[in-house]
Amino acid sequence: MEFITGVLDRIAQTPLSQFIHESPVVFPNIECIHVIAICMVFGTIMIIDLRLIGKASMNRTVTGLMGEILPLTWVAFALAVLTGALLFISQPVDYAANTAFRLKMVALAFAGLNMLAFHAGAYRHVATWDALTLPPTRARLAGAVSLTLWIAIIACGRTIGFTMFPG
C-alpha cells in the first residue's frame, strides 16, 4: 500500500497535475469534456443494449446497428479515458481514497468483462439470431447487465463530484 501511495504522491507533484489542480479553468473544462464523452458512450451503448433486450430498433439487425454505432462509442470512450485520467492526476491521492471513484472503477471493469463475455458467448452465434426481434436470453442478459452497469458508472461519477473537496 505504501508503494501505491508513493506513486500517487509522485503523480500529484508533477507539473501537469499541479497545473490542472490549481487552474480555475482547466479542471472544469476537462470535466465538461469528460461528461460529454461519457454521455456519448452511454447513449451509444444504450442504443445497442436496448436492441439486445428487445426494446428498441427491433427492425434493425444487431450487427448492422453495432457496425454503425460502435466506432463512435470507441472514439467517445477513448476521449472519456483521456479526460478521466487527466482529472485523476489532478488529485490522485484523493481520488484513489474516494469510495465513489473506486466503485466507478469496479463497475467499469465489470462492464468491460460483461462486454467480453457477450462477445465470447452469445455474439459468436449472432448469425443465427441477428435479425430476430428478440435475441436469445444470453444476449438480452448481457444488454440488461450493461445498462445497469453504465447507470452505476454514471451515478458513481456524479457522486464523486459531491464527495471530492478542493484540496
Q: What does the longest C-alpha to C-alpha distance in the chain come to? A: 55
SS3 1: coil
What pTM value is reported for the model? 0.90
| Count of domains observed in the chain | 1
User: Which residues in the chain land under pLDDT 50?
Assistant: none
Euclidean distance between CA atoms 64 and 37, whole angstroms: 23
Sign of CA dihedral 30, 36, 42, 44: negative
Residues 91 and 12 sit within 8 Å (Cβ to Cβ): yes
Per-residue model confidence (pLDDT) at position 167: 56
Q: What is the per-residue pLDDT for 3?
A: 84
Q: How far is 20 from 12, CA to CA, in rounded Å?
A: 10
Q: In which domain, by residue range, is 102 found?
A: 2-163
